[in-house]
Amino acid sequence: MKTLETKRLILRPFKIEDLDDFYEYAKVEGVGEKAGWKHHTSITESNIILQEFISKDDVYAIEYKENGKVIGSVGLHVINNNPLERELGYVLSKDYHNQGVMSEATKEVIRYCFEELGLDKLWCMHFEENLISKRIILKNGFKFNHIFMKDIEALDYKRFKVYAYYMDKDIYASRLD
Ligand SMILES: CC(C)(COP(=O)(O)OP(=O)(O)OC[C@H]1O[C@@H](n2cnc3c(N)ncnc32)[C@H](O)[C@@H]1OP(=O)(O)O)[C@@H](O)C(=O)NCCC(=O)NCCS
């Protein structure tokens, strides 16, 4: 994926040297869980996931310019076997929450999706109780589409109410009016 840049961030593909930074935020309990995965309990686990990020090339590392650390990720996962339909997912190190970092990162990634990648549709979902993610989704101009129940395997099949939103070219264009 093409490297992107914002005021405070570089959004770039993950590399193997990011392992320590990745493990540092992925091991914190209660962060990944909000995005549907269990916090990591070993660096080996983070290494396996990191290799996946690198080989699939569908997740951006968020590098914080000020200190060069990787502090989170923004995923653009292909869905319905259609490269022009993707799902946006994101996680940020707890140390950087509530400073507008993910608003800044997602705004640029969404711009890239519609102005450069030419996506037809971008989906984004949150668990019912995740009001911070809901705020980011709405602030970015996504439209609510539907609600569904899902048993999340990675969280011991716990059942969640999931809210689904989407953006398409028209919605993206109307945000700029
Ligand atoms: C979701 C997450 C990425 C947000 O990152 P962040 O950089 O802290 O978010 P931002 O600071 O850019 O924006 C947060 C917004 O939520 C608002 N907010 C904060 N706490 C809130 C709350 N309890 N209820 C509602 N809104 C809240 C903030 O005011 C801000 O909105 P504003 O810009 O209008 O003021 C981060 O909390 C995280 O990593 N959570 C765990 C993983 C996760 O939930 N991923 C998403 C899965 S769908």
Q: What is the pLDDT of residues 44-65, one digit of tens each?
A: 999 999 999 999 999 999 999 9
Mean local confidence (pLDDT), 132-138: 98
For ligand 1, atom 10, the nearest C-alpha belongs to 100
**Ligand 1: nearest atom to the Cα of 103:** 12
Mean local confidence (pLDDT), 59-81: 97
What is the pTM (predicted TM-score) of this model? 0.97
For ligand 1, atom 41, the nearest C-alpha belongs to 31
| pLDDT band, residue 175 (cuts 50/70/90) | confident
Mean local confidence (pLDDT), 81-108: 97
Q: Kindly tell me if the per-residue pLDDT of 177 is higher than 70.
A: no
Maximum Cα–Cα distance across the chain: 47
Mean local confidence (pLDDT), 134-147: 98
Mean local confidence (pLDDT), 78-94: 96
pLDDT for res 162: 98
Token pair listed for 51: 């290799």
Q: Kindly tell me if the per-residue pLDDT of 176 is higher than 90.
A: no
| 4-175 CATH choice from 3.40.630.30, 1.20.120.530, 3.40.190.120, 4.10.780.10 | 3.40.630.30
pLDDT tens by residue, 8-41: 999 999 999 999 999 999 999 999 999 999 999 9
- State whether residue 152 is helix, strand or coil: strand
Residues with CB under 6 A from ligand 1: 31, 34-35, 90-92, 97-103, 126, 130-133, 135-136, 139
- Rounded-to-integer distance, Cα 137 and Cα 174, Å: 16
Q: Taking the CB of residue 105, how many other CB atoms lie within 10 A of it?
A: 24
DSSP per residue, 118-156: --SEEEEEEETT-HHHHHHHHHTT-EEEEEEEEEEGGGT
Q: What percent of the chain has pLDDT over 70?
A: 99
Mean local confidence (pLDDT), 138-156: 97
Q: Taking the CB of residue 81, how many other CB atoms lie within 10 A of it?
A: 6
Mean local confidence (pLDDT), 148-173: 97
